[in-house]
């Protein structure tokens, strides 16, 4: 039972962190530099905290927000011929 509870807690944590990053990305788009900088700083701190939880970054469903906050980047996926087939997200590992 504990394993099920832990997985549910981590999934809930992913949802909460996803919401937080969405809100911070919205604030980071502010024309006021102090609001933008505070949002990005808080996002970096939250990102470091999120590393302590056992969930996949994709579970947050906040990829675009993470791009806005500078915590992820979009990378090309190429085939054997070097042609771009798709893009995917690469998540930054802060403090590693």
How far is it, in rounded angstroms, from Cα 84 to Cα 24? Answer: 31
What's the pTM? 0.78
Instruction: Report if residue 10 sits inside a domain.
Output: yes
pLDDT at 2: 47
**pLDDT (tens digit, 9 = 90+) per residue, 64-91?**
999 999 999 988 888 888 888 877 888 8
Alpha carbon separation from 1 to 11, 30, 47, 55, 75 (Å, rounded): 16, 45, 29, 18, 39
pLDDT at 75: 87
The CA angle 18-57-65, to the nearest 5 degrees, is 45
Instruction: Report if residue 58 sits inside a domain.
Output: yes
Instruction: Report if residue 79 sits inside a domain.
Output: no
Kindly tell me if the per-residue pLDDT of 4 is higher than 90.
no
Instruction: Report if residue 82 sits inside a domain.
Output: no
Collapse the DSSP code of 40 into the 3-class scheme (helix H, G, I; strand E, B; otherwise coil) and give the result: helix
Give the chain's domain count.
1
How far is it, in rounded angstroms, from Cα 91 to Cα 96? Answer: 12
């Amino acid at each position: 039972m504990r394993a099920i509870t832990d997985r549910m807690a981590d999934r809930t944590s992913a949802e909460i962190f996803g919401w937080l990053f969405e809100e911070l990305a919205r604030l980071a788009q502010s024309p006021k530099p102090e609001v933008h900088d505070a949002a990005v700083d808080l996002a970096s701190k939250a990102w470091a905290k999120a590393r302590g939880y056992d969930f996949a970054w994709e579970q947050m469903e906040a990829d675009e927000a993470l791009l806005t906050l500078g915590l992820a980047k979009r990378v090309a996926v190429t085939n054997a011929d070097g042609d771009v087939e798709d893009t995917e997200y690469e998540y930054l590992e802060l403090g590693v």
